[in-house]
Amino acid sequence: MTGYVIYEGPSELDGKPIVVIATDNSGNRKTGSMVQTWILRADIEPHTALKTGDDSSVCGDCPHRPANHGACYVTVFQAPLAVYRAYKRGSYGEFQPGQFAGRMVRIGSYGDPAAVPLEIWEAYTDGAAGMTGYSHQWENADKGLSAYCMASCDTPAERERAVSMGWRTFRVRLADEPVMQGEAVCPASHEAGQKLTCDKCKACSGTTGHRSLSGIAIVAHGAAGKVNAYNAMRAA
């Protein structure tokens, strides 16, 4: 797996050591061909960090963490663990600003972009053809992150609050919950017939794109257990 270390340093969330790896060969059917980024503890394997709660360094207080409701769709002992172990073997090269010019890039395939200094994302996206990014830490994150990322929201009230703070939003909704004014259904979703992959859509690019829409919405999806966990979180 071709990859590059784009950041090693303290987490913006709790000061603990983290690393950000960009990998250049995505097989993700939803996102399409995009450069991916993995935000990881630099000193703890991701599945172990999940068990001990040290994943808070890269995920903050995200409600989908196992320590909260456990609805996160990422299986950390798969791609994130493989990336971490390759990093520990010294398999990844040194990143250069503008390296992904002309490419579609993803900010935070695992981990919350708010854990990383904003200037790292500025360098990573330099000259990129477009980007996608999402943050559950939008209430306390550097406001500059809103140019690159969508505010991840789980309720209509959260969406309204995020919009009032200047964010565009990506909202996971219940199957019987309507799309709100200013939102559009995610074109890569099952309910939209998977018309587009993320690399073709480009809607989830913070305030830099699709200004006519203030948000994107998608029905809770993924493995049945994750959907059930999300539904239970909403019902709590």
**What are 57-86's pLDDT values in tens digits?**
999 999 998 877 777 878 898 999 999 999
**What are 143-170's pLDDT values in tens digits?**
999 999 999 999 999 999 999 999 999 9
**What are 166-214's pLDDT values in tens digits?**
999 999 999 899 999 999 999 988 898 888 888 888 899 999 876 778 9
Whole-angstrom CA distances from 137 to 32, 40, 118, 124, 218 are 25, 16, 13, 20, 19
- Quick one: average pLDDT of 37-52? 96
Q: Which helix (H) or strand (E) holds 49?
A: helix 46-52
Q: How confident is the model at residue 12 (pLDDT cuts 50, 70, 90)?
A: very high
Q: Contact at 8 Å (CB) between 162 and 207? A: no
The share of the chain scoring above pLDDT 70, in percent, equals: 94
Q: What is the pLDDT of residue 172?
A: 94
Burial class (CB in 10 A: 0-12, 13-18, 19+), 191: middle
Q: Does pLDDT of 32 surpass 70?
A: no
Q: What is the pLDDT of residue 27?
A: 59
Report how far residue 33's alpha carbon sits from residue 188's, in angstroms, rounded to the nearest whole number: 14
Report how far residue 148's alpha carbon sits from residue 235's, in angstroms, rounded to the nearest whole number: 31
The tokens describing 175, both together, are 């199957």
Q: How confident is the model at residue 217 (pLDDT cuts 50, 70, 90)?
A: very high
Q: Which of 47-56, 61-70, 100-109 has the lowest mean pLDDT?
A: 61-70
Report how far residue 7's alpha carbon sits from residue 4's, in angstroms, rounded to the nearest whole number: 9
Q: What is the pLDDT of residue 73?
A: 79
| Whole-number average pLDDT of the chain | 91
Q: Contact at 8 Å (CB) between 30 and 127? A: no
Sign of the CA dihedral with 148 first, then 56, 2, and 31 last: negative
Q: What is the pLDDT of residue 205?
A: 94
CA atoms within 13 A on the CB side of 29: 5
Q: Does pLDDT of 30 surpass 70?
A: no
- Quick one: average pLDDT of 103-114? 96
Q: What is the pLDDT of residue 21?
A: 98
Backbone dihedral region of 49: left (phi > 0), alpha (psi from -120 to 50 degrees) or beta? alpha
Sheet holding 36-41, edge to edge: 36-41, 17-23, 3-10, 93-94
Report how far residue 71's alpha carbon sits from residue 164's, in angstroms, rounded to the nearest whole number: 26
Q: How confident is the model at residue 220 (pLDDT cuts 50, 70, 90)?
A: confident
